[in-house]
Structure 1
């Protein structure tokens, strides 16, 4: 087996199964598993005390019972937040997951993980990567882990920590593919590109694939509009609701 070639899926559940569960939570990942999603995409960043947690926003207002910047919370106070009731009352009492808790669950369920190193404004990408990456590499086998980021310093730090591309599958996240993408990918010994499906051009997709990289697209929830991208060579779609794509994947007939 070469890296992920034999087991990688066509669909990845965005922030867990976030169309049906509160995003980036243990419950969302359990829900993804129960619905048959083999891979999930999650965000990691640091609390003020340096604890890596699964969280997307720089603040907690949108997805919790409180307000404030994430870095103002330590683990004790972060665990008092209700991170489920905002989505639906039946999820009241859900708590913020640490990276360690989430990795243990993913390992228990046998899922694959696309872990995004989420570097929000003013936060240190090197510290985030040095804290989070060794834990992820220790907990999950290479074939079930892709680590991605929009932040170039985080990616450089990740590659410095693990120079072997067969030990670390590194994904380059972009809203729009930069002109120097080949040079960047070669320098970082990258595994994949993760691009906004709405801004991707057919020529770019075919060039990426011809160069030997995997190509993931985010965040798509319209399988009919997305359908032409499979013909361009896209390997996987990151979706809030992957089941929408069940009858629209390569080799499947639309029904």
Structure 2
């Protein structure tokens, strides 16, 4: 048994990252304004142990600063502008702490696929120990899925809660031959795969095995269209509104 999660058709990747700087509070608010109720976000630790919502191992791409997260403290990150790189309207946006992001998700009654991001040189056990208690305390079990490419992080996560109160997702690039073992090892709820590297028989096998299939990161709804028939439960996309328009048009055409 797993939590009674009602997966959406669309999940906004790193927040609505086509409309606002990725993994920020602004990106989550943008998703909410667009009517998207699930977001995908990345969490990792700073050098001082603070959990933050960030994807890269360093800050160069998405801020006006430089430096590796594992060598930074929370006060140092708050001197950075994490929004201006995206557009002037977002100047002054700050890196978000996990605490602030969970508070926003709770206030907006949103749900999250939270990826445990284990970049090189980072400790997966320490990450889980700092992150999971906060998430379990902040959100009901039916409003989040915890995923990772790192099997150590997923195995350690399972020690915190059984499958009926904690949904875990195995992240893969290409579907490996041992995907069934990886999923069974942690009593997984879902498997998250790169949409462009999936084959129909693989997708169908995942679904037949009882796992929800979440696909990242399609941004062309027409190209992604066949995967709905293959059994995809959710598309994790940078362009949720483009997908909404396409799906609405497709439904209207079928209804006529």
| Coarse TM-score class (shorter-chain normalised) | over 0.9
* CA distance in structure 2 between the partners assigned to 1:90 and 1:51 by the alignment: 27
**2:78 equivalent in structure 1:** 79
What is the CA distance between 1:181 and its match in structure 2?
Answer: 1.1
Equivalent positions of 1:10-159 (< 5 A) are 10-159=9-158
Contact 1:51–1:75 under 8 Å retained in 2: yes
Please point out which of 219, 222, 225 is paired with 1:224. 222
State the Cα RMSD in Å: 1.6
Q: Structure 1 128/254 Cα, relative in aligned 2: closer, same or farther at 3 Å?
A: farther
Contact 1:247–1:254 under 8 Å retained in 2: no
* CA distance in structure 1 between the partners assigned to 2:53 and 2:99 by the alignment: 9
Secondary structure at the counterpart of residue 252 of structure 1: helix
Gap runs ≥5 in structure 1:
none
What is the CA distance between 1:248 and its match in structure 2?
Answer: 4.0
TM-score, scaled relative to structure 1:
0.96
What is the CA distance between 1:23 and its match in structure 2?
Answer: 0.4
* CA distance in structure 2 between the partners assigned to 1:50 and 1:26 by the alignment: 20
Contact 1:217–1:238 under 8 Å retained in 2: yes
Moved over 3 A (4+): 247-251
Gap runs ≥5 in structure 2:
none
**1:185 equivalent in structure 2:** 183
Q: Deviations over 1:77-97 (max 9, x none)?
A: 111110000000110100110
